């Protein structure tokens, strides 16, 4: 019997390592977002500072471990056997869910996961026990509803507090410093830096150090007694030091504040969130030790009230956890995906938006704009002018592709507020969601900075709702999956445990492969868009468009083959490939617009032609999308196939597109100004072909040799084939007549 539970305990520790890796991949965004987004220092320096914060922060986490032992349920009501089932169900659920979220780059809450997994598994086991042994007993006798409600409400309230604090404090800070803050840093920078660092020291050392593994009661009492002296000396000393560094060494104070804030937030994260990763395995380990101390006791009868006792977590476990977290921080590619999501949502400039719009976000933007207009009518003109001056952004160079997503001032506010709120939650033994807090602070500060302009507001709001909705989805799925696994383990025993371990391992492997493929595609697509260079615009645009036009050239052959073979898989693959090319084209178009801003006025005509060229190719991709989607749907629905005559006629029309595609690629490859075409396309010739083929189709309809749906499909292909050729011909004209305004054919 002991051997089985020893194996389960070992499994819990193995799962703890996996959970640490998955958890840090998800939560690294919380303390790296601001430093990475503001480019306060090279990534290696930022990672080093964060790693130090994580390592030191692990020793502050000791007091949080009781959440896993007794924060959600009453351990004295559960037997040792049942407790181990609960812990095992929680860990397997946690790993699967976190890995799935990380794969798709969605920052979810590890705290929400832990709380609802513990609740789901304990409710399931308690319900089974009540039904079998204690009918009529209330579930609340087993579940610590008061503490669970306090934790959940604390998480939800922290969302409002974090967003409100971020918005208000950033507004005040920006009002004092403006976007052009360099000169004001000479006078206000020392005080700002002193206040920021002192706030960090107060919340981490004075508020958060009570339950640190190294802290004795005597030392903590001394810190409490002398807290005001510590704060005053800290503020005075740091303020003077900042003024000295700025005056004599021209040091950018905000960079120091951002790095200090990164350290503090990494420390706060480790102190608050380590319980999410190793709290359950440590509780399982303590339960196993209790079981060993009572030899001969039936594990079904041994009650676990001892888990209510205060236990000092061994420092070695905390330190080893920190080491795993640091290694993950450096090695995890999924962490970088999650970081991109949050930096993208809070960046200052408009650009490619990851999320679309929704009716709710559109309604909110409309209501906010209306409210803003009404407020502007009320406030005095002098105040309006002052606010506009303070909140007018500094024009940034369009040639700089590596400019930060937001400035150091906002990054400083993000870090100080987030670390302070999380440290405060840790001191109150509330496992706040660090993801909730840091994300909502970042959204609040970006809102105050006007990053949610009319170009991007609906997308940012949809993104915020999507992420928050993802957390609620996490809660529901964590509760449900953990409860189901607990029931499975209760009735199926060891075989079910082994099977679910295999499922977890397979899930992690599959999501890893999926993420790897996704990142490779993303890197390839990003490189094409980032290759657009304002100094060498034509050559860089030509190079970026060739892969797309190669796809266009290959389309007719694959398309006809898919129709001939009635192969919906081939047509679906073609459709997905075209969607991928459309996304790349969208990125290239956006990058071109940014590059064109950096061109002098005399370059207007070439810029106009480059943008016109891309618009024509976008229309080409739309034609292909229409044809591929309709063909795939027709074949998948098992409708009557196109006959050989129809296929031959369609092939003849599309061959013209292949011919022009080859010519466009050749012109782009030459990429020299004024390159001329070898062959001139006459739309009239193609019109004659298509007119004859349409007449042939009408005869087939009369003869009954062509079905209704097939005929409609064929006619639509004729139209799109014609559009395809005309748009490609327009693109060729634009390339060959760069110095002159080309005469573009009338289309649609």
Question: What tokens appear for 220 in the block?
Answer: 């903590």
* Distance between CA atoms of residues 48 and 67, nearest Å: 30
Average pLDDT over residues 293-297: 86
Average pLDDT over residues 5-21: 88
Pair 575, 632: CB distance under 8 Å:
yes
Containing H/E element for 230? Answer: helix 227-249
* Distance between CA atoms of residues 174 and 178, nearest Å: 5
DSSP 71: I
pTM over 0.85: no
Please tell me the predicted confidence (pLDDT) of residue 83.
Answer: 94
Buried b (16+ CB within 10 A) or exposed e, 175-211: eebbbebeeebeeebbebbbebbbbbbbbbbbbbbbb
Pair 532, 569: CB distance under 8 Å:
no
pLDDT tens digits, one per residue of 601-642 = 656 777 788 888 889 999 999 999 999 999 999 998 889 889
According to DSSP, the residues that pair with 303 across neighbouring strands are: 79
Please tell me the predicted confidence (pLDDT) of residue 277.
Answer: 85
DSSP 602: G
Q: How confident is the model at residue 657 (pLDDT cuts 50, 70, 90)?
A: confident
Domain ranges of the chain: 2-522, 533-736
Give the residue with greater pLDDT, 740 vs 16.
Answer: 16
pLDDT at 309 over 50: yes
H-only helix segments in 531-643: 537-564, 568-597, 604-636
Buried b (16+ CB within 10 A) or exposed e, 560-589: bebbeeebbebbbebbebbeebbbbbbbbb
Q: C-alpha dihedral over 687, 688, 689, 691, to 10 degrees?
A: 80
Give the CA distances from residue 723 to residues 140, 167, 616, 701, in Å, rounded to whole numbers and listed in that order: 68, 50, 11, 24
pLDDT at 513 over 90: no
Residue 143: φ, ψ to 5°: -105, 130
Residue partners of 79: CB distance under 8 A and separation at least 6: 299, 300, 301, 302, 303, 304
Question: What tokens appear for 650 in the block?
Answer: 């369609």
Ranges 443-457, 467-481, 590-604: which has the least confidence? 590-604
* Distance between CA atoms of residues 281 and 19, nearest Å: 10
Average pLDDT over residues 7-35: 81
Three-state secondary-structure class, residue 293: coil
pLDDT tens digits, one per residue of 329-370 = 887 765 665 565 556 555 655 555 555 667 777 787 777 777
Please tell me the predicted confidence (pLDDT) of residue 627.
Answer: 95
Give the residue with greater pLDDT, 333 vs 16.
Answer: 16
Give the residue with greater pLDDT, 448 vs 67.
Answer: 448
pLDDT tens digits, one per residue of 56-89 = 888 777 666 777 777 889 999 999 999 999 999 9
Ranges 548-557, 591-600, 706-715: which has the least confidence? 591-600
Give the CA distances from residue 149 to residues 55, 158, 199, 430, 707, in Å, rounded to whole numbers and listed in that order: 31, 14, 29, 11, 64
Three-state secondary-structure class, residue 382: helix
Pair 331, 24: CB distance under 8 Å:
no
Question: What tokens appear for 176 in the block?
Answer: 């004092």
Give the residue with greater pLDDT, 153 vs 743.
Answer: 153
CATH number of 533-736: 1.20.58.220
* Distance between CA atoms of residues 166 and 618, nearest Å: 40
pLDDT at 245 over 80: yes
Pair 211, 66: CB distance under 8 Å:
no
In the 3-class helix/strand/coil scheme, how is 35-70 assigned residue by residue? HHHHCCCCHHHHHHHHHHHHHHHHHHCHHHHHHHHH
Pair 346, 451: CB distance under 8 Å:
yes
């Amino acid at each position: 019997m002991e051997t089985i539970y020893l194996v389960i305990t070992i499994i819990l520790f193995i799962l703890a390592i996996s959970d640490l890796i998955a958890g840090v991949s998800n939560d690294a965004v919380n303390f790296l977002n601001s430093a990475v987004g503001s480019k306060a220092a090279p990534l290696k320096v930022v990672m080093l500072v964060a790693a130090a914060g994580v390592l030191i922060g692990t020793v502050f986490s000791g007091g949080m471990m009781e959440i896993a032992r007794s924060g959600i349920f009453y351990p004295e009501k559960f037997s040792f056997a049942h407790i181990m089932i609960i812990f095992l169900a929680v860990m397997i659920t946690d790993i699967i869910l976190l890995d799935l979220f990380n794969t798709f780059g969605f920052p979810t809450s590890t705290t929400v996961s832990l709380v609802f997994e513990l609740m789901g598994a304990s409710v399931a086991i308690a319900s089974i026990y009540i039904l079998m042994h204690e009918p009529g007993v209330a579930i609340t006798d087993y579940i610590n509803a008061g503490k669970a409600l306090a934790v959940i409400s604390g998480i939800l309230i922290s969302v409002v507090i974090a967003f409100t604090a971020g918005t208000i404090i950033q507004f005040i800070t920006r009002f004092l410093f403006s976007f052009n803050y360099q000169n004001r840093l000479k006078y206000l920078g020392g005080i700002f830096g002193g206040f920021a660092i002192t706030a960090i020291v107060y919340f981490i050392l004075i508020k958060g150090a009570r339950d640190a593994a190294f802290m004795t009661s005597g030392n903590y009492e001394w810190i409490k007694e002398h807290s005001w002296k510590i704060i005053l000396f800290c503020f005075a000393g740091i303020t003077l030091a900042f003024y000295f560094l700025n005056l004599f060494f021209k040091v950018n104070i905000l960079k120091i504040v951002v790095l200090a804030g990164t350290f503090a937030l990494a420390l706060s994260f480790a102190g608050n969130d380590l319980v999410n990763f190793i709290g359950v395995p440590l509780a399982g380990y303590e339960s196993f030790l209790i079981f060993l101390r009572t030899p001969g006791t039936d594990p079904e009868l041994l009650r676990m009230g001892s888990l209510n006792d205060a236990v000092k977590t061994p420092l070695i476990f905390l330190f080893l956890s920190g080491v795993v977290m640091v290694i993950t921080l450096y090695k995890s590619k999924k962490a970088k995906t999650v970081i991109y999501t949050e930096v993208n949502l809070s960046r200052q400039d408009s650009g490619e938006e990851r999320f679309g719009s929704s009716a709710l976000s559109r309604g909110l933007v409309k209501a906010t704009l209306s409210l803003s207009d009404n407020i502007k009518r009320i406030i005095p003109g002098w105040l309006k002018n002052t606010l506009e001056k303070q909140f007018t952004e500094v024009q940034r160079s369009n040639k700089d592709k590596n400019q930060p997503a937001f400035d150091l001032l906002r990054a400083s506010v993000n870090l100080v507020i987030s670390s302070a709120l999380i440290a405060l939650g840790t001191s109150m033994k509330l496992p706040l969601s660090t993801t909730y807090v840091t994300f909502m602070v970042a959204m609040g500060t970006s809102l105050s900075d006007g990053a949610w302009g009319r170009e991007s507001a609906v997308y940012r709001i949809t993104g915020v709702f999507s992420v928050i909705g993802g957390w609620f989805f996490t809660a529901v799925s964590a509760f449900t999956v953990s409860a189901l696994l607990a029931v499975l383990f209760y009735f199926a025993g060891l075989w079910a445990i082994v099977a679910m371990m295999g499922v977890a391992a397979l899930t992690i492997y599959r999501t890893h492969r999926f993420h790897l493929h996704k990142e490779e595609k993303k890197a390839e697509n990003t490189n094409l868009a980032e290759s657009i260079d304002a100094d060498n615009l034509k050559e860089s645009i030509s190079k970026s468009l060739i892969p797309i036009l190669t796809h266009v050239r290959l389309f007719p052959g694959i398309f006809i083959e898919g129709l001939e073979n009635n192969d919906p898989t081939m047509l679906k693959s073609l459709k997905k490939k075209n969607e991928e090319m459309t996304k790349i084209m969208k990125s290239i178009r956006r990058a071109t617009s940014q590059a064109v801003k950096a061109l002098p006025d005399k370059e207007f005509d070439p810029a106009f032609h480059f943008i016109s060229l891309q618009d024509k190719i976008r229309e080409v991709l739309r034609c292909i999308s229409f044809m591929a989607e309709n063909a795939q749907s027709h074949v998948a629905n098992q409708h009557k196939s196109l006959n050989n005559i129809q296929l031959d006629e369609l092939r003849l029309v599309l061959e013209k597109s292949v011919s022009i595609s080859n010519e466009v690629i050749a012109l782009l490859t030459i990429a020299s100004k004024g390159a001329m075409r070898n062959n001139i396309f006459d739309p009239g010739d193609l019109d004659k072909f298509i007119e004859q083929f349409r007449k042939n189709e009408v005869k087939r309809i009369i003869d009954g040799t062509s079905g209704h749906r097939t005929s409609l499909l064929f006619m639509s292909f004729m139209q799109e084939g014609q559009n395809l050729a005309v748009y490609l011909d327009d693109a060729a004209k634009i390339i060959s007549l760069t110095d002159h305004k080309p005469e573009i054919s009338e289309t649609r």
